[in-house]
Amino acid sequence: MEYLERCAWFLRTTLVPAVVRRCLPWAFLALMLGGSLVKEFFPLPPSYFSNKRNVFNMYFVKVAWGWTFVLLLPFVALTNYRLTGKATVVLRRLCILLVGTAIWYVSTAVFLHVEHYTGSCYKSPSLESIRREYHSKEECGKAGGFWHGFDISGHSFLLTYCGLVIVEEMAVLQEVKMDRSHNLYFALTSLTVALGCLVYMWLWMFLCTAVYFHDLSQKVFGTLFGLAGWYGTYRVWYLKPISPGLPPHSSSLNLKQDSYKK
């Protein structure tokens, strides 16, 4: 338990402060541009993380929104209810997960359509000979061909968006008093550690994507989609009265004063 508490303290210290929320979008842009420059001018030798079938890519990155959704659901519910005591506030705030799911679905659909309409079927990855009889990625793949189009980086989008959403929601920990005597202490401490570890994993895998995969323009568009999804919600829409709203804080709500003392 002591080790878990130390991890939670470290993650709260490095991810919860407001300065982190201000700087993290720029950090994603810097990692994307810096990693892309390395890929173009100082390519690194193959490694475990350059293999698309590494365990982190297969079981975490490819379902990044799923992990984010599953861990944020109880975290938002517990923290928001403990601070406000209102089920209606909790249900309203949980709508951020529906909004995030919609952003994920629409964005990935756009990426697939862009790749389809800008692509063609080739006999091999060398793109030497085109096969004009196939007009979709599915047909091309079934025929043993290679579909090449403008493939916007879904990983860059997902990891950017998921990382920013988690950090925004973890801001509520500035108001939550972590006291061992409360029956939810272990659950919230565990969720804090799990979410914080996800953020660091998303940052690392985002850098690996920048260093090993995709062209610069594809990563730029993917990252910008992630930033746009975050900015359009947490910096614009969620400030409006008719929205899921931002995480509760003392200046906007009359918070309970006995948090984690019962």
- Contact assessment for residue 108 and residue 155, using Cβ atoms and an 8 Å cutoff: no
Residue 87 is encoded by which pair of tokens?
Answer: 């089920």
155 has catalytic annotation: yes
β-partners of residue 120 are 148
The secondary structure of the chain in percent helix, strand, coil, rounded to multiples of 5, reads: 70, 5, 30
Residues 6+ apart with CB under 8 A from 174: 16, 249
Please name which of 168, 190, 188, 166 lies closest in space to residue 179, comparing C-alpha atoms: 188
Residues 6+ apart with CB under 8 A from 67: 60, 162, 198
- Contact assessment for residue 230 and residue 160, using Cβ atoms and an 8 Å cutoff: yes
Q: Which of 116, 135, 148, 214 is catalytic?
A: 214
148 has catalytic annotation: no
Say whether 82 sits in a helix, a strand or coil: helix
Q: Which of 135, 148, 155, 249 is catalytic?
A: 155
- Distance between CA atoms of 119 and 116, rounded to whole angstroms? 5
Q: Is 26 exposed, middle or buried (0-12, 13-18, 19+ CB in 10 A)?
A: exposed
Say whether 191 sits in a helix, a strand or coil: helix
Chain position carrying tokens 């009265």: 241
Chain position carrying tokens 């947490």: 234
Please name which of 1, 29, 12, 9 lies closest in space to residue 207, comparing C-alpha atoms: 29
**Which positions are catalytic?**
155, 214
